[in-house]
A and B are shown apart, each in its own frame.
Chain A
């Protein structure tokens, strides 16, 4: 009887088993990472907008507060995207000739709204309500990041359910006094957890309810 296989098969046969396990593990790792990567979550990926609107300039440079444009953030589920009219309150006075702002003026002229690309876009079956969050001391910064330092708007949070749960399970990690929700320079106290727990109690946040399915899905 002759050997069927080349002697190298001694190693190859065993290595292939190991390799198979490694490949399976690798694929698992790639999937794990891919779903959490910027490719999938769009974290830190600025989107092309009709106008390269700079939050940095308007917030840090001009000191405009979030609520000036996002008017319904304390009142409604939707924070509100400012109508062209809001832009024109200033831009009918300043930078009136800037080419960059032509779409704004065109919108105002033609009554055709501007079409922004949604940056923070939850799936349609997740019902997020801005008003309850900001009214209970969850600052803009916590989810949206340092918008005041963003020349172009981008996500800083993956907006995945596990990410939501992180805070819904322990809001004390992020909660702050309601007066500070628009403050990008807020520094949490050293004993944030203890302080946070106090605030949670003060604002009557029912933490155990926050992981109920019906809180976000209807």
Chain B
């Protein structure tokens, strides 16, 4: 390493960390934001809204536990509706974190260092929200543990042929691995927090969580290896999780579900929505906590590029679906596509094309990619679009399948909306808690990006 020629960051279009930052200033800024008792005013206002949504969430969960899934609008042809739409939507959002942490790490995308912590936390919370839906959507929620293969007095096991069991394994594995990834990444920062904390109880809590991390070179060596291995493992995992989620549909025989394109198309969609959600959350966080030094416009630019790329894949997926429906020669498939486009839920399809297919095209322009306000709006549109995509897949496929006699409409109830909005409240609330107690940017990884004599930081490979 030492023999590498010294390069300065000036050659880069824009450094990934503002040149005015030092090791000390980075630590003080990020750790200080957590330890400070001050919370940005805008955050307090949104927190109030979020808390109200959290209350709605509690009510909505209570209602479905008490009375059953009948409080929702689901019916006989449409056995799954909002709950599975939301599940897939949240799982998709939960893909950004691990992707940023793992895949970008393997691809030596250094810019990830500024956003991976936040994205990982977002992943965890999104997957938690996602996991709620399958758990709540069963009719007898108190028996959900029957989906786990454990020895019981019935002598019964689960049915490993069911994609729902694959889901159980995929989502719990994903949650566990994401948690471990996030936690392992946090250990050095927890030690930093421990060492910055003023109050004894803070020191104790961060101290316990840091497990006595002392920054030993021996430890760092194994740590880096472990982190790399986790990244290597998480990469196929992240691809598998949404593939498995897509199997929920692809394995069935319902036209509109039964499609071999689903796994890649779902994974791309997941990344797409995940990045959209990261942008949605990062932009206000960056502003309220004044993190422009770490999350630079270049970061936003890159994220927007990833969104554009995945958005194009997703759009390609929509076109493929059209082609498949035509080329299959099956009257059921053809009708399904016709029904999506011109049926009673036509608006959801067209809106989805607008949100996911048309809107991201503006990201071709750098001016748009670096316009924070515009990017924020686009990310919201993509979030909505990705929700609509799942709605279209779940509901419009089910509501008119093989026998026209069974066709029916799905009409959401207040509880459908409550639970959906409630989980958003739950999610944002968790994000707030996270922001207040944990460093939302990885301190040590940002430091890693600062050059020093003897080491250059080559971010030239950082191109989305």
Contact = CB atoms under 8 A, between A and B. Distances in A.
B155 A162 contact: yes
B212 A13 contact: yes
B66 interface: no
A35 interface: yes
Contacts of B203: 4
B204 interface: yes
Contacts of A161: 153-156
Contacts of A165: 155
Nearest to B195: A1
Interface residues of A, number: 13
Interface string B354-382: 00000000000000000000000000000
A32 interface: yes
Contacts of A162: 152-155
A158 interface: yes
Interface in B65-104: none
B180 interface: no
B207 A4 contact: yes
Nearest to A213: B156
Interface residues of B, number: 15
A161 B157 CA distance: 12
A158 B152 CA distance: 13
Contacts of B151: 32
A3 B204 CA distance: 10
B207 A35 contact: no
A158 B194 CA distance: 54
Interface string B149-173: 0011111100000000000000000
A5 B194 CA distance: 12
Interface in A148-193: 158, 160-163, 165
Interface in B171-201: 194-195, 200
A36 interface: yes
Interface string B409-439: 0000000000000000000000000000000
A194 B151 CA distance: 30
Contacts of A13: 208, 211-212
A36 B153 contact: yes
Nearest to B212: A13
A17 B14 CA distance: 46
Contacts of B200: 4
Contacts of B194: 4
A5 B156 CA distance: 48
Contacts of A163: 153
Interface in B221-254: none
Contacts of A4: 194, 200, 203-204, 207
A165 B155 CA distance: 7
A5 B212 CA distance: 10
B195 to A, nearest CB: 7
B140 to A, nearest CB: 13
A87 B455 CA distance: 99
B329 to A, nearest CB: 38
B404 to A, nearest CB: 32
Interface in A46-87: none
Question: Most B CB atoms within 10 A — which of A4, A36, A160, A163?
Answer: A4
Contacts of B204: 4-5
Interface in A1-60: 1, 4-5, 13, 32, 35-36
A160 B154 CA distance: 6
Contacts of B152: 35, 162
A5 B209 CA distance: 13
Contact of B207 (A5, A32, A36, A158): A5
A13 B211 CA distance: 8
A39 B346 CA distance: 59
Nearest to B206: A4
Contacts of A36: 153
A161 B153 CA distance: 6
B154 to A, nearest CB: 4
Nearest to A163: B153
A191 B156 CA distance: 30
Interface in B116-140: none
B132 to A, nearest CB: 23
Nearest to A161: B154
Interface in A81-99: none
Contacts of B208: 13
B153 A35 contact: yes
A32 B203 CA distance: 40
Interface string B205-221: 00110011000000000
A162 B157 CA distance: 11
Most interface-central of B155, B200, B203 (chain A CB within 10 A): B155
Nearest to B211: A13
Contacts of A1: 195
A161 B151 CA distance: 12
A13 B204 CA distance: 12
B195 A158 contact: no
B190 to A, nearest CB: 12
A1 B151 CA distance: 51
Given A1-B195, A4-B194, A4-B207, A158 B153 contact: yes
A162 B212 CA distance: 48
23 contacts: A1-B195, A4-B194, A4-B203, A5-B204, A13-B208, A13-B211, A13-B212, A32-B151, A35-B152, A35-B153, A36-B153, A158-B153, A160-B153, A160-B154, A161-B153, A161-B154, A161-B155, A161-B156, A162-B152, A162-B153, A162-B154, A162-B155, A163-B153
Given A5-B204, A162-B155, 9 more contacts: A1-B195, A4-B200, A13-B208, A158-B153, A160-B153, A161-B154, A162-B152, A162-B153, A162-B154
Closest 7 CB pairs of A and B: A162-B155, A160-B153, A161-B154, A165-B155, A4-B207, A4-B203, A162-B153
